[in-house]
Structure 1
Amino acid sequence: MAPLEALYGRRCRYPIGLFDVFEGRPWVTDILRESLYKVKFIQEKLLAAQNRQKEYADRKVRDFDFMEGEQVLLKVSPMKGVMRLGKRGKHSPRYISPFEVLKRVGEVAYGLALTPGLSGLHLVFHVSMLKKYNGDENYIIRWDSVLLDENLSYEEEPVAILDREVRKL
């Protein structure tokens, strides 16, 4: 039996009938029975391998549903030798700033409100390229609370002393 027929369950169409020569001989039925058994065995093993691979793939699948107006991070895939967003190499960002979800497009795609600097990108992204943004307000620096000099630098001041220790040498 041809490998195509063993794998896909249908006969391969050869231009010349190669198997028609053996039809009248009695030992052909034994060979056919063995080959059919082997084909069934191959199909069972292939089905078991497909199911096993599907289980492995399904473990990594994450179901995300983003609502309109929610904030998400956009994944930027690092490529060797490509300078993206002004950074190169290991310092290139994996996710870039939070964007607002405008609408859901289809089952697994979302439209984002991108900044004018990213106007060259398409507005619709697959859910695998998005990550939920959990913004913590304590770590966001308010620009009006920081006094900047002419050269855009500022002086750091401690807010509170958390611990004090005296050491004797």
Structure 2
Amino acid sequence: MADALSRKEYSSHWVRTLSTTIKSHLTLKIKEAQLDALKPENVTGETLRGMDKNLETKEDRTHYFMNRIWVPKFRGFREVVMNESHKTRYSIRPGSDKMYLDKKQQYWWPNMKVKTATYVGKCLTCAKVKTGYQQSSGLLQQPEIPKWK
């Protein structure tokens, strides 16, 4: 029998609104880091390998790649995005696949899936919760069947 929580449906509009509310301050800081990262002396450290030609600039001067915000390596904002999408109380520590799919809708950087899997793999809290670290309660034994008196 299904309970009320399993039947509850959340619309994607509510989730996107929550995501925008949480991360709205971050886009302004990312835009500043993008401008610094695209300076000629910093472009080599970004490892874009020619993808900087595919970046498009929107009206707010933020650089996008395939309609997703490009997060530069400059100033360490990739780690900030991963921290915010993994450790906030709204995310409830998703696994690497779920975390990647959530971030993929809004952000982009090279090798994002690999970096996300590495980040989640290093999380000690997630490692403790995995089934390999849980102890079983012991051998299962069938209870004794009572006899009718």
TM-score by length of 2: 0.25
More helix by share: 2
More strand by share: 1
TM-score by length of 1: 0.23
Structure with higher Rg: it is 1
Larger RCO, structure (CA 8 Å, separation 6 or more): 2
